[in-house]
Amino acid sequence: MSDVSVESSAGVWERRKREAMSRIQAVALDLFEEYGYRAVTIERIASEAGVSASSVYRYFGVKEMLVLYDEHDLRILEAIRDSGGGEPMPPGELIAAARLLAPMLIESMLTRETELRLRRRMRYVATIPEIADAQNRQMRDLESQIVALFAERTGGDPNDLRLCVAAATGVWGIMAALNHWTTADFVRPLREVYTEAVDAVVSAIERILL
């Protein structure tokens, strides 16, 4: 089998996996809203979604991730990994690429459907302590992945303090924007909030790395 066909098959599998996870998450959110988060079991979600409980565990790991899963996290990591052809580049060039990519990512990710689902998810983050704790763990893991990517893309050391601070600024700056949007009862359009936040975050990272 050629490399092209292998890659194509892998791409189809990944797309189907993301579609399945999105569908299961939608079922879970419906059940949580009707019966309450703690009253709904993984087995109930699996039954309603037409999959096995083992599939839910395999896809999400823990119950909290049924709320927290966001396929766009992967798209952001892919954008950092692939920008400029994926070749190592100076920090200034990577930042310039981020400024160009950010508006396109925001535009493509923030459909009406995704914004409405994010509102539903953030209500659970704001009211269920174990989900908020899981989100913090998820963001720390994302921060580690971004540090590694920054090091890979710039040819730097993943233990470089500036790269660590830059990654933390990116992850927690966007989380601050999301929390602001939530506590303000979702009044502002999320696209507007993210655009403002990303501009501030990229400017801060530029000052850290250059």
Assigned CATH topology for domain 3-66: Arc Repressor Mutant, subunit A (1.10.10)
Rg for the chain, CA atoms, rounded = 18
Q: Which of 4-13, 74-83, 191-200 has the lowest mean pLDDT?
A: 4-13
List the chain domain ranges. 3-66, 70-209
- CATH numeric code, 70-209: 1.10.357.10
Residue 5 pLDDT exceeds 70? no
**Which pLDDT tens digit goes with each residue over 50-62?**
999 999 999 999 9
C-alpha distance from residue 151 to each of 29, 139, 192 (Å): 37, 18, 30
Residue type for 40, please?
A: V
Residue type for 81, please?
A: R
Predicted TM-score (pTM) of this structure: 0.89
C-alpha distance from residue 15 to each of 9, 135, 170 (Å): 10, 24, 27
70-209 has the same fold as 3-66: no
Which residue, among 197, 7, 207, 209, has the nearest Cα to 105 in the 3D structure? 197
**Which pLDDT tens digit goes with each residue over 27-43?**
999 999 999 999 999 99
Share above pLDDT 70 across residues of the chain, in percent, rounded to a whole number: 96
Average pLDDT over residues 148-158: 95
Report residue 75's pLDDT band, with 50, 70 and 90 as the boundaries: confident
Q: How far apart are the first and last CA of the chain?
A: 46
Taking all residues of the chain, what is their mean pLDDT, rounded to a whole number?
A: 93
Rounded Cα–Cα distance for residues 76 and 86 (Å): 14
pLDDT given for residue 1 in this prediction: 47
